[in-house]
Amino acid sequence: MTRTRLIAALVMAPMAIAAILLLPTPWLMALAAVVFLAGLWEWFDLAEVDDSLARAVLLAANLALMVALVWASRSSSGFSFVLLQIATVIGVVWWLLALAWLGRYGFASNHDTHARAIKLAAGTLSLVPAWCALAWIHADNGDTGHRWLLVALAVVWAADSGAYFAGRHFGGRLFSGRRLAPRISPNKTLEGLLGGLLAGVATGIGLGLFAGAGVAQLPWVVLASVIAVLFSVVGDLFESLLKRHVGLKDSGHLIPGHGGVLDRLDGVLAALPAFALAKAMFGF
């Protein structure tokens, strides 16, 4: 499984990096919308929406929301990112609420209409603000915005890999076998969390310099990286919680060794709004 996972990552990573660094923001937004909506399609399984027509209508509604945000941001004087920034803040607030949800395992787990509606709303609140944050980061700071988006995503990717390998090699050795969230994701360890934080911060520092951060800004880049990693853990655990509610191991089987699209996006969805807001607040 590790070999398959590695090969898939080696194929996907260069394509993602090339798109981030080479595509103009409007084209990247369009490409990201396709990927995010593919993840949303898998989210419908977690919300137990089985009817194809209902799924198509829900997907179209989320696409319409994305289009409406872009359309409403256009003016005769240029493109304004205010609405995307507001959506990003809403995303951060949502993930803080999702953290509270993690503490109530049984909430919205009873497979009824009420639970389905809550999970569908959670899907929109997870994907649309992340897409807005992606666009905001990429378009910000002129020519360096695309580099900062690479920083944000690479921090999450590195943290995910660092947590995976630290958990495999050191899990249970440093913290007396204590698990991060045993009921939600029994395989996640505190050692994995620590390894993910170290890998994410190291990546944030290295690529932060590549993106143009000065030495005086590096402490803020480190803090933003820590925040992004912690939010990515919330996103990962939240998807795991929803999968446990419906008895799924993976959100899909599209990516060999990685599961579905949503399995690759879960941490990114939570980390992007957090990183974008931290970047704006810390001024780098």
pLDDT in tens, 51-102: 999 999 999 999 999 999 999 999 888 899 999 999 999 999 999 999 999 9
Helices within the chain (DSSP H only): 2-22, 25-46, 52-72, 82-102, 113-139, 145-170, 190-211, 218-246, 261-282
Predicted local distance difference test score (pLDDT) of residue 210: 94
If pLDDT is split at 50, 70 and 90, which confidence band does 8 have?
low
Nearest-5° Cα angle at 25, 231 to 229: 15
Residues 143 and 24: beta-carbon distance below 8 Å? no
Burial class (CB in 10 A: 0-12, 13-18, 19+), 247: exposed
Predicted local distance difference test score (pLDDT) of residue 254: 62
Predicted local distance difference test score (pLDDT) of residue 2: 61
Three-class DSSP category at 172: coil
pLDDT at 253 over 70: no
pLDDT at 258 over 60: no
- Residue 255's DSSP bridge partners are 259
- Rounded distance between C-alpha atoms, residue 66 and residue 35, angstroms: 13
Which of the residue ranges 68-72, 185-189, 193-197 would you say has the lowest mean pLDDT?
185-189
Residue identified by tokens 């029994």 is: 186
pLDDT at 140 over 90: no
Residues in the chain, how many? 284
Predicted local distance difference test score (pLDDT) of residue 211: 94
pLDDT at 251 over 80: no
Dihedral of the alpha carbons of 261, 271, 212, 208, in degrees to the nearest 10: -90
Dump pLDDT digits (tens) for 105-139.
Answer: 889 888 888 999 999 999 999 999 999 999 999 99
> 190 versus 5: which is more confidently predicted?
190
When computed from its CA atoms, the radius of gyration of the chain, rounded to whole angstroms, is 18
Strand 78-79 versus strand 179-181 pairing type = unpaired
End-to-end CA distance of the chain: 39
pLDDT at 50 over 70: yes
Dump pLDDT digits (tens) for 13-49.
Answer: 899 999 999 999 999 999 999 999 999 999 999 999 9
The mean pLDDT value for 185-200 works out to 93
Which of the residue ranges 194-203, 208-217, 244-253 would you say has the lowest mean pLDDT?
244-253
What predicted TM-score, i.e. pTM, was given to this entire model? Answer: 0.92
Dump pLDDT digits (tens) for 208-232.
Answer: 999 999 999 999 999 999 999 999 9
Predicted local distance difference test score (pLDDT) of residue 252: 64
DSSP states of 18-65 as a string? HHHHHS-HHHHHHHHHHHHHHHHHHHHHHTT---HHHHHHHHHHHHHH
Domain locations in the chain as residue ranges:
2-282
Predicted local distance difference test score (pLDDT) of residue 4: 61
Residues 25 and 133: beta-carbon distance below 8 Å? no
Predicted local distance difference test score (pLDDT) of residue 143: 78
Which of the residue ranges 8-17, 34-43, 150-159, 237-246 would you say has the lowest mean pLDDT?
8-17
